[in-house]
């Protein structure tokens, strides 16, 4: 299970210029990008593929993102998200 809070992460990412060093630093610190030591290129991590990939189940068919949902009533529930997050 990934311990990333999507709404706050999305706010951080959306407020940054996607070409700025701060944007890439935020993704590195969030473990969504890593540097290939041989080529020095930034590549997405498995977490990035699960959260932002178009078809994450193609790469990781056995995984799903699980989130604990809190309702206004005070009740909570764990939900699984098996598709890409754009469909949630």
Residues 47-85 have pLDDT tens digits of: 888 878 888 888 888 887 788 888 889 899 998 877 666
Distance CA 80, CA 73 (A): 20
**66 lies in a domain?**
yes
In a domain, 29, yes or no: yes
Q: What is the pLDDT of residue 5?
A: 47
In a domain, 1, yes or no: no
- Is 32 within 8 Å of 47 (Cβ atoms)? yes
> In the predicted model, what is the mean pLDDT of the chain?
78
Q: Is 18 or 31 the better-scoring residue by pLDDT? A: 31
Residue-level pLDDT at 84: 65
What is the span of the domain harbouring residue 43? 6-87
Residue 56, number of CB atoms within 10 A of its CB: 22
25 located within any domain: yes
pTM of the model: 0.60
Question: 79 in a domain, yes or no?
Answer: yes
Beta strand residue intervals within the chain, DSSP E: 33-35, 42-44, 65-70, 76-81
In a domain, 73, yes or no: yes
**How many domains, in total, are found in the chain?**
1
- With beta carbons less than 8 A apart as the criterion, state whether 77 and 71 touch: yes
């Amino acid at each position: 299970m990934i311990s990333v809070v999507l709404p706050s992460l999305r706010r951080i990412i959306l407020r940054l210029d996607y070409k700025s060093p701060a944007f890439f630093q935020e993704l590195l610190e969030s473990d969504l990008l890593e540097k290939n030591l041989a080529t020095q290129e930034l590549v997405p991590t498995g977490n990035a593929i699960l959260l932002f990939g178009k078809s994450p189940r193609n790469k990781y068919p056995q995984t799903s993102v699980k989130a604990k949902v809190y309702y206004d009533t005070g009740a909570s529930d764990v939900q699984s998200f098996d598709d890409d997050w754009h469909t949630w």
